[in-house]
Each structure stands twice: as structure tokens, then as C-alpha cells.
């Protein structure tokens, strides 16, 4: 089988428990992203004005974020050594990109130079894309 097809097909997840844990982590992650978008738009567009409702949205999103970390942690605990190595290298690279972009944007904003309207969203997006791309590359490289 082609290495790229293996990498894209998640061939390093061999048993049913690992696949279930991975799919659960992805599902909770997508649910958290949806809650974040709905909460952000509800607050920004003024759809919800009651402070208690805003707190409920924020705390609900936080709760889903904590659940996301717990399911991802469970996935890593039960995964084999190769999968953990692939995930760790991908996370480290994405963290490095986020750290460099975040510090650079902060320094530019301190100097009064605003390149992006929302450098936080750009940094988070870059981290997510870097993680995804490096996950595929590392899966291919370590097969």
C-alpha cells in the first residue's frame, strides 16, 4: 500500500478501541468548535444579551473544551507507542508555530503595527493547520 494512502487512512490505529477513542475525540472536538462558534456569534451579534445566558454559554463551551481534552488524553493513553510519537511530534510543531506567531503578533501590536485584525484567530488557525499537516506528514514518515 502507498505510504501516503496509509498516512491519510490512519493505518497506525489498528484496533477497535483506538479507532473508537480517536473518533470520540474528533467528535467532541467538532462539538466544542461548533459551541465556540455559536457562543462567539451569539455574543458578538447581540443575539443573547442576558449576562446569565452569556455566562451559561461561556461555561458550557468551557465544559466541552475540558471534555475534549479528556477524550484526547484517553486516546493517547490507550494508543500504541508509534501513534503517541506521531501525535507528540505534530503537537510540538504546532505549538512552536503558535508560539512564534503569537509572540511576533504581540510584539508588532505593541509597536503599533497591526497586520491582522485578529491575530489570535490567525494564530489558532495556523496552529490547527500545522497540526493537521504535520500529522499526515509524520504518519507517512514513520510508517
Burial of 114 (0-12, 13-18, 19+ CB in 10 A): exposed
Cα–Cα distance for residue pair 11/30, rounded to 1 Å:
22
Find the distance separating the first CA and the last CA of the chain, reported in whole Å.
11
User: In this predicted model, what pLDDT tens digit does every residue of 1-56 receive, in sequence order?
Assistant: 555 555 555 555 567 888 888 889 889 988 998 998 899 889 889 999 899 999 99
The domain spans of the chain are 1-79, 81-143
Q: Is the pLDDT of residue 64 over 90?
A: yes
Residue 117 CB-half CA count within 13 A: 0
Cα–Cα distance for residue pair 24/76, rounded to 1 Å:
12
Cα–Cα distance for residue pair 126/94, rounded to 1 Å:
8
Mean pLDDT of the chain: 85
Amino acid at each position: 500500500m502507498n505510504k501516503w494512502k496509509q498516512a491519510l487512512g490512519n493505518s497506525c490505529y489498528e484496533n477497535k478501541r483506538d479507532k473508537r477513542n480517536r473518533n470520540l475525540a474528533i467528535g467532541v472536538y467538532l462539538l466544542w468548535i461548533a459551541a465556540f462558534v455559536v457562543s462567539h456569534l451569539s455574543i458578538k451579534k447581540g443575539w443573547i444579551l442576558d449576562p446569565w445566558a452569556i455566562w451559561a454559554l461561556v461555561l458550557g463551551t468551557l465544559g466541552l473544551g475540558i471534555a475534549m481534552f479528556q477524550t484526547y488524553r484517553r486516546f493517547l493513553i490507550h494508543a500504541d507507542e508509534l501513534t503517541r510519537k506521531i501525535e507528540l511530534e505534530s503537537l510540538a510543531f504546532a505549538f512552536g508555530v503558535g508560539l512564534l506567531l503569537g509572540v511576533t503578533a504581540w510584539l508588532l501590536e505593541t509597536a503599533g503595527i497591526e497586520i491582522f485584525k485578529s491575530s489570535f484567530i490567525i494564530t489558532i488557525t495556523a496552529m490547527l493547520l500545522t497540526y493537521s499537516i504535520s500529522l499526515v506528514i509524520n504518519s507517512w514518515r514513520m510508517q
